[in-house]
Amino acid sequence: MEIDYSKRSFSYYPTNAIVYATCIDGKWSAPVVTNDFNLSLHCFAGVFHYASCCFEGLKVFRGVDGRVRMFRPDENQKRMKSGADYLDMPAPPMDLFMDMCIRCVQENWEYIPPYESASASLYLRPVLFGYNPQLGIHSADDAMFVVMASGVGTYSGAKSLMPGTAVISRNYDRAATFGSGGYKLGANYAQSLHAYNIAHRLGYRELLFLDSATHTHIEEFGSSNFFAIKGNSYITPDSSSVLPSITNKSLRKVAEEFGLKVERRTVYVEELESFDEVNSCGTAVVITPICRIDDKPALEDGTVTREFKYADECGPVSRKLYDRIIGIQKGLEEDTYGWCTFINEH
Ligand X SMILES: Cc1ncc(COP(=O)(O)O)c(C=O)c1O
Helix 246-257 with 316-329: angle, nearest 10 deg = 110
User: How many angstroms separate the CA atoms of 239 and 245, rounded?
Assistant: 12
Q: Which of 117, 134, 225, 236 binds ligand X (CB under 6 A)?
A: 225
The answer to whether residue 19 forms part of the interface with ligand X (CB under 6 A) is: no
Q: Which of 77, 117, 241, 247 binds ligand X (CB under 6 A)?
A: 247
- Footprint on residues 277-296 left by ligand X (CB under 6 A): 282-284
Stretch that binds ligand X, among 47-55, 222-230, 257-265, 338-346 (CB under 6 A): 222-230
User: How many angstroms separate the CA atoms of 294 and 167, rounded?
Assistant: 5
What residue ranges in 184-297 does DSSP mark as E strands? 206-210, 218-221, 225-230, 233-237, 261-265, 277-282, 286-295
Stretch that binds ligand X, among 92-100, 141-149, 217-225, 336-344 (CB under 6 A): 217-225
First to last CA, the chain: 21
At residue 139, what are phi and psi to the nearest 5 degrees?
A: -70, 160
* Nearer CB in complex with ligand X: 134/217: 217
The two most distant CA atoms of the chain are separated, in Å, by 57
Q: Which of 245, 288, 329, 341 binds ligand X (CB under 6 A)?
A: 245
* Nearer CB in complex with ligand X: 144/246: 246
Catalytic residue among 59, 81, 184, 330: 184
* Nearer CB in complex with ligand X: 131/183: 183
- Whether 81 is catalytic: no
* Nearer CB in complex with ligand X: 10/131: 10
Q: How many helices (H) and strands (E) does the chain have?
A: 6, 18
Q: Where are the alpha helices (DSSP H) in 34-185?
A: 47-50, 73-86, 94-107
User: Which residues touch 124 (CB under 8 Å, ≥6 apart)?
Assistant: 56, 57, 58, 59, 60, 70, 101, 104, 105, 147, 148, 149
Q: Which of 206, 220, 277, 294 binds ligand X (CB under 6 A)?
A: 220
Report how many residues bind ligand X under the rule CB under 6 A: 13
* Nearer CB in complex with ligand X: 177/344: 177
182, 245 Cβ separation under 8 angstroms: no
Stretch that binds ligand X, among 40-48, 112-120, 245-253, 322-330 (CB under 6 A): 245-253
* Nearer CB in complex with ligand X: 187/311: 187
User: Which residues touch 321 (CB under 8 Å, ≥6 apart)?
Assistant: 234, 251, 254, 255, 258, 287
CA 72-233-159 angle, 5° bins:
55
Q: Which of 52, 224, 236, 318 binds ligand X (CB under 6 A)?
A: 224
Among 337, 238, 335, 220, CA closest to 281: 220
The answer to whether residue 57 forms part of the interface with ligand X (CB under 6 A) is: yes
The answer to whether residue 180 forms part of the interface with ligand X (CB under 6 A) is: no
CB of 162 to ligand X, least distance (A): 18
CB of 36 to ligand X, least distance (A): 27
* Nearer CB in complex with ligand X: 62/72: 72
Residue nearest to ligand X (CB): 282
CB of 219 to ligand X, least distance (A): 9
CB of 111 to ligand X, least distance (A): 20
Q: For 94, what's the count of Cα atoms within 13 Å in the CB-facing half-sphere? A: 5
Q: Which of 223, 239, 318, 341 binds ligand X (CB under 6 A)?
A: 223
Q: Applying CB under 6 A, which residues contact ligand X?
A: 57, 220, 223-225, 243, 245-248, 282-284
- Which residues are part of the catalytic machinery? 184
